Amino acid sequence: MMDKIKSFLGIAAAPDYAEMVKNGAIILDVRSPGEYAGGHIRGAKNIPVSDLVKQMGKLDKTKTIITCCASGARSGVAKAMLAANGFTEVYNGGGWNSLEGKIAE
């Protein structure tokens, strides 16, 4: 019953980021190289949001992509940019510190 109410209200279940990563999702950190060097999720690919359009060809459209940044704002922009360019499985993971906690085993 609760699932029907959530569906009606447009409230989706939180994505299972850990499962996505286990299944090969790409973590795309869209912060600047300096921010990335200061700390990041191991294995994350760094393409600053300002360079994303130019470097989009480096990403596989068939893969699930989880974007992250410092707070979730730039990763939201990156998610929208990727979706507008034909990427179908893109999720805004928000801040990288928070996302790291969600994918930790």
Query: Which are the catalytic amino acids?
Result: 69
DSSP 24-49: TPEEEE-S-HHHHHT---TT-EE--G
Record the tokens describing residue 54, joined without a space: 């130019």
The DSSP letter of residue 76 is H
